[in-house]
Homo-oligomer: A and B are copies of this chain.
């Protein structure tokens, strides 16, 4: 799950990026509208966090342009004041949610989880599949009822695979979802590595990750 944070205050952007990173999201930060356009053009995002007040224009323009271009990526808008007008305007422009600054990082995290969840067509956070019980909010994983510890990257990968359950996910797509731009130089071998680590932890759960040579990986129930 890759997130774009459009925010020009370094402190806020950094804090949000760190917090969301811990929560299993891969984050890219864009301090200007121009950067935001560039990022959104290069890769797809599971959601966008958009500050309205930016040095080179209003986030509303960015939002409107994206929507006009047919992009339906969930957007969470950050507003400075709790003005009903501004709030309504943002939603009219196509925002999916808003948060008033200053905000609690945990709330940002929770709302983003709700947005990406909604996109995947799920009503609740928890995902149960076979003997596997995964809650991305609590970052908790259970296999056949027993709690299993997994690292951030492992959970992020699992999250992606479950969200695309039954579909073959190309390795580069998984890579995009796991790493932001600042980690672009990481070897693609790491995906194979984490798949191997995940497989060990999922052993006996009735869920497995199939390899499709030259195509990618697919998570699904056994059999």
Give me the interface of A with B, judged by CB distance under 8 Å. Answer: 19, 22-23, 37-38, 41-44, 82, 100-107, 138-140, 147, 149, 151-152, 166-168, 170, 172-173, 210, 212-216, 220
Contact = CB atoms under 8 A, between A and B. Distances in A.
B170 A104 contact: no
A136 to B, nearest CB: 11
A44 B104 contact: yes
11 contacts: A22-B216, A37-B82, A38-B102, A41-B100, A41-B102, A41-B104, A44-B104, A44-B106, A138-B167, A139-B216, A149-B212
A168 B104 contact: no
Given A41-B103, A139-B216, 19 more contacts: A19-B170, A19-B172, A22-B170, A22-B214, A22-B215, A22-B216, A23-B170, A37-B82, A41-B100, A41-B104, A44-B106, A138-B166, A138-B167, A138-B168, A139-B168, A140-B167, A147-B220, A151-B214, A152-B214
Nearest to A172: B19
A213 B172 contact: no
